[in-house]
Each structure stands twice: as structure tokens, then as C-alpha cells.
Chain A
Amino acid sequence: MITRKQSLDLVLQRLGSLALELGKPALLNVDESTHLFGDAAHLDSIGLVTLIADLEQDIFNQFGKRVTLADEKAMSRLTSPFRRVGLLADYIVEVVNAK
């Protein structure tokens, strides 16, 4: 079980470490409404791939569940769960708790 707050914290923490690694200080000041991918995004495709791969590992380390965040279900949605920080946090709750 993962709560919405835990999920959001996970995403924000990971973005914080990526901010330093990718040299994108803007990622240090993000909130639920921040655009991750798509128009006006903070991440390019390389950054997004890194974020997803790292988050899948974080989820396993902290919650013991192996999940795939970028699967057909995520890709076929009208609104991509990777568009904004809040949507990604929602999606993590949905995927982890369905396992």
C-alpha cells in the first residue's frame, strides 16, 4: 500500500536528485502542477527515461513491489500520467496498489 503523500514525496525526492545530476536547477522548485513532459516541460526524453527507471527502483526498494510505470496502459491514456508531477503521483498510487 502506498499513500498519495508517499507517492508525491517519492517523485519530488527523485526530481530533486535529478536536478543536480542533470544540471536543471528548475527541478528543485516543483510542485503538483509542474509540467514534466510535453509542452513547457522540465524534462527531455532522456530525463524522463531516467526518472521512470529510478522511480521503479525506488518503489521496489521502499514498497517491495516491482512495477512497470511506462507500459501500454500508461501510453494509451488520453492524458499521459507523465505530463505533470501530480498526475504521475496519482498513477504511481494506482499501479502500486493494484499489485
Chain B
Amino acid sequence: MSQAILTGTSRGLGRALALKLLECGWTVHGLARENSDINHPRFHSHAIDITHEPSVQSTIAKIGQSSQGIDLLINNAGSASMNALLLTPGSVAESLMRTNYLGAFYCLQAVGKSMVRQRKGLIINITTVAVPLALAGEAAYVASKAALDALTKVAATELLPHGIKVVGLGLGPIDTRLTRAVSQNKLAEINQRIKRPQGTTLDEATAFISEKINDPQLASGQIYYLGQVT
């Protein structure tokens, strides 16, 4: 049976994605600050702070030990903050970098070691169209996700010889808590720019991610976008 580790499962895309993976037969280990309300025999909730490296290491080592190995990691946990660059407090920039980049880095490193032992695995980093669009008002968020994209590319190069693929999946705005602070006009403008005027539903986002998980032609190091970004 295939084992997945997914971060940020207490709500939003992470929760929907966990349900989708369960539906597809995966055993899912959900990592989040708060325990998830998902009740399923193949779902295991782990309440941890992914920005705390020792917690990530010990939790993932325990999961690897208790299961047949880890086949899939999805770094989904993320936070956002919309503000003009010159009005963004440094503490916000630091906090976003910790969650969106460092948290993913710790998880990737810990799961990567387990996958190296298995000589196979797939790592997906959830990113955003806001990076290639260089969206105004999202400097700290975009910079943290750009760091994650760079990590995706280097990790792909280093881990491919071990049989491990690493890709980024970039999404547009979805109606979750992450985008609640963004005005309707701004959301409409972004959706127009990525040629998805109707926006993206949670179902569409999870279907896109699921399709990529099952794609044998997935090119390691690539960032795939749901929507047009050029």
C-alpha cells in the first residue's frame, strides 16, 4: 500500500487533498499544527509545527519506521500575507519564509533520506502562479515561494540519481482561508491573467495534483502550473 506524507492538512487545500488521496487508496500521514478532523482508517494525524526541525525529523523518522516506507511527500503547508512591500513588517517576511520555505526544506530533507534508502519516491512542492506573475502586494509571499521553487530545482538535480523526482505544482487563487484577505477585484484580475476567469475550485486543484502524481512522464525539476503564466 502506498504511503504519503502531506503537510497543512487541518484545512483548505491540504484537507481536500488528504481526502482525495484517501479516495485513491493512499495511506495518508497529515502533518499540521492542529489535529485534522478527518476520520478515516488510513489517515494518521500528526500535530506538529513544521518550522521546528527536531519535531519534523523525529515525526518523519517514526512514520518511516512504522510503515513500509514513504512514497510521496506533498509540501502543501503555507501561509500568505498581502501588503505593500514598503509596509510589510520584517517579522512577517521572516514568518512566511519559515513556513513556506524552511518548513518544506525540513520535510524534504527528512523524507528525502527515507526515499534515498528506498531508491525511489516523489516529492511535490505546492507553489503559486504569483511567482512568475510577480504579483504586486505579495512581495514577502512571492519571495518565500520563489525560494521554494529554487529548492525544487536543486533538489530534483541532486535526488534524481537516487530515483526520486521533485516537482513544483503552481496554483492560482483558490477559495480557502489563504486568499480570504485578497479583494474580489484583485482575485478576478489574477484569474484573468492566468486565463482562468472562473477561478479555480478545490476540486479542480486536487484533480490537477492527483493527475500529476499519476503521470509517469512527470519531468523532475519542472514547475507545472494550473493556468497560463506566460
Given A60-B65, A66-B58, A66-B61, decide whether A53 and B161 contact each other with a Cβ distance below 8 A: no
Given A46-B161, A46-B162, decide whether A57 and B117 contact each other with a Cβ distance below 8 A: yes
For window 44-76 of chain B, which residues contact chain A by CB distance below 8 Å? 57-58, 61, 65
Query: With an 8 A cutoff between CB atoms, is A28 at the interface?
Result: no
Chain B residues with CB under 8 Å of A49's CB are 116, 158, 162
- Give CA–CA (A56, B224) in the complex, Å: 34
- Give CA–CA (A56, B65) in the complex, Å: 12
Secondary structure class of chain B's binding surface, majority of residues: helix
Give A51's nearest chain B residue, CB to CB: B116
- Give CA–CA (A80, B114) in the complex, Å: 23
- In the complex the two chains form, is B65's CB within 8 Å of A53's CB? no
What 1/0 mask marks residues of chain B from 198 to 212 whose CB sits below 8 Å from any chain A CB? Answer: 000000000000000
For window 154-168 of chain B, which residues contact chain A by CB distance below 8 Å? 158, 161-162
Chain B residues with CB under 8 Å of A50's CB are 116, 162
- In the complex the two chains form, is B117's CB within 8 Å of A53's CB? yes
- Give CA–CA (A53, B116) in the complex, Å: 7
Tally of chain A residues near chain B (CB < 8 A): 11
Query: With an 8 A cutoff between CB atoms, is A31 at the interface?
Result: no
Query: With an 8 A cutoff between CB atoms, is A68 at the interface?
Result: yes
What 1/0 mask marks residues of chain A from 36 to 66 whose CB sits below 8 Å from any chain B CB? Answer: 0000000001100110011011001000001
Query: With an 8 A cutoff between CB atoms, is B195 at the interface?
Result: no
What 1/0 mask marks residues of chain A from 13 to 49 whose CB sits below 8 Å from any chain B CB? Answer: 0000000000000000000000000000000011001
Query: With an 8 A cutoff between CB atoms, is B113 at the interface?
Result: yes
Give A49's nearest chain B residue, CB to CB: B116
B65, B114, B116 pick with most chain A CB within 10 angstroms: B116
What 1/0 mask marks residues of chain A from 53 to 94 whose CB sits below 8 Å from any chain B CB? Answer: 110110010000010100000000000000000000000000
- In the complex the two chains form, is B113's CB within 8 Å of A53's CB? yes
Nearest CB of chain A from residue B79's CB, rounded to whole Å = 27
Chain A residues with CB under 8 Å of B65's CB are 60
Nearest CB of chain B from residue A13's CB, rounded to whole Å = 15
Nearest CB of chain B from residue A74's CB, rounded to whole Å = 15
15 A-B contacts, Cβ less than 8 Å apart?
A: A45-B158, A49-B116, A49-B158, A49-B162, A50-B116, A50-B162, A53-B113, A53-B114, A53-B117, A54-B117, A56-B113, A57-B117, A60-B65, A66-B61, A68-B57
- Which residues of chain B have a CB within 8 Å of any CB of chain A? 57-58, 61, 65, 113-114, 116-117, 158, 161-162
A54-B116, A66-B57 known, 6 other contacts, Cβ within 8 Å? A49-B116, A49-B158, A53-B113, A56-B113, A66-B58, A66-B61
